[in-house]
Amino acid sequence: MKRALLLLGIVATCLALWRKPPAGPTVLTGRAMGCEWKLVTDEAVAAEEMRGEIAAVLEHWEQVLSTWRPDSDLSRHNRGEPATADLARVLRLAEKLHAESGGAFDHRLLGPLTAAGFGPGGSGIDLSSLGKGFAVDRVAERLRERGIRRHVFSLAGEVRAGDGEWPVGIESPTGGIAETLVLSNQSMATSGNYRQGRPVGEGRVAGHILDPASGLPVIRPPCGVTVIAADAATASGWATALFVKGPRASPPPGMRVIWHGGGG
Order of strands, sheet of 166-171, starting from the edge strand that comes earlier in the sequence: 16-18, 166-171, 177-183
Q: What pLDDT shows up at residue 256?
A: 96
Q: What is the pLDDT of residue 43?
A: 95
* Per-residue pLDDT, 10: 28
d(CA 118, CA 112): 9
Looking from the CA of 62 toward its CB, the CA atoms found within 13 Å total: 14
- CA proximity to 246, closest of 224, 214, 228: 224
Nearest Cα neighbor of 249 from 109, 133, 108, 101 is: 101
Instruction: Please measure the distance between the N-terminal and C-terminal CA atoms of the chain and give it in whole angstroms.
Output: 20
Domains, the chain, with CATH or none: 4-261 (3.10.520.10)
Distance CA 27, CA 41 (A): 7
Residue type, 165: E
Compute the distance between CA of residue 216 and CA of residue 168 in angstroms, rounded to an integer.
32
* pLDDT in single tens digits along all 264 residues of the chain: 443 433 333 233 344 444 444 457 899 999 999 999 999 999 999 999 999 999 999 999 999 999 999 999 999 999 999 999 999 999 999 999 999 999 999 999 999 999 999 889 999 999 999 999 999 999 999 999 999 999 999 998 899 999 999 999 998 888 888 999 999 999 999 999 987 778 888 889 999 999 999 999 999 999 999 999 999 999 999 999 999 999 999 888 999 999 998 776
Q: Is the separation of the CB atoms in 209 and 244 below 8 Å?
A: yes
Are 170 and 190 a contacting pair, CB within 8 Å? yes
Question: Global pTM?
Answer: 0.89
